[in-house]
Amino acid sequence: MSHGGRKVLVIGYGNPGRLDDGLGPACAAAIQEMGMDGVTVDADYQLNVEDAAAIADHDVVVFADASVDAPEPFAFEPVAPAREISFSTHSIEPPAVVALARDMFQARVGAFALGIRGYEFNAFGERISAKARTNLRAAVAFLKGVIEADTFDRYAGQAEEEPREASRVVFSVTPAELN
């Protein structure tokens, strides 16, 4: 493996039916097409509690998503486990998924968020805007380089610090979901 032997998981999430919100799954598809050894790719509309188990089987996870306010063309930042895990039955954010992987599976995974700048979100359609496609190409090329050279540690920053206490889980369920 050209990336230090570490197992890498790329999770692209977002809704491809909502224009640029499909940047995360598009990034995942592009990485999948490269067929890099030791790299697993997943894509979905949103992150779920079940993603914690998948993360636990890897050394590094990259959460790829569209961003409405990231600098152009993208932002790449470490993700620290959340101290308080708050989610509904429908979605969960990257810090909470990482905390669940740590708390439930004793996973010590390097986690990163790849926020790809998008521009068109408030309509339906399965296309990505021209400017967002340019940002996507830059993000995919960057991520490919980081994976191949195994330079994740260069971007780890403060996210390596573990919370001192176990995460507190806050779970919300609507009355309709109880039926």
Give the predicted TM-score (pTM) of the model. 0.85
Instruction: Using CB atoms within 10 Å of the CB of residue 95, give its burial: 0 to 12 exposed, 13 to 18 middle, 19+ buried.
Output: buried
Assess contact for 19 and 114: CB atoms under 8 A: no
What pLDDT band is residue 170 in, cutting at 50, 70 and 90? very low
CATH class in words for 8-178: alpha beta
What percent of the chain is modeled with pLDDT above 70? 80
Q: Cα 102 vs. chain centroid, distance in angstroms?
A: 16
| Model confidence pLDDT, tens digit, residues 109-124 | 999 999 999 999 988 8
How far apart are alpha carbons 88 and 172 in whole angstroms?
5
Q: Cα–Cα–Cα angle for 73, 93, 144, nearest 5°?
A: 40
| Model confidence pLDDT, tens digit, residues 122-151 | 888 899 999 999 999 999 999 999 999 999
The structure tokens listed for 134 are 């340019």
Residue extents of the structural domains in the chain: 8-178
The structure tokens listed for 166 are 């176990």
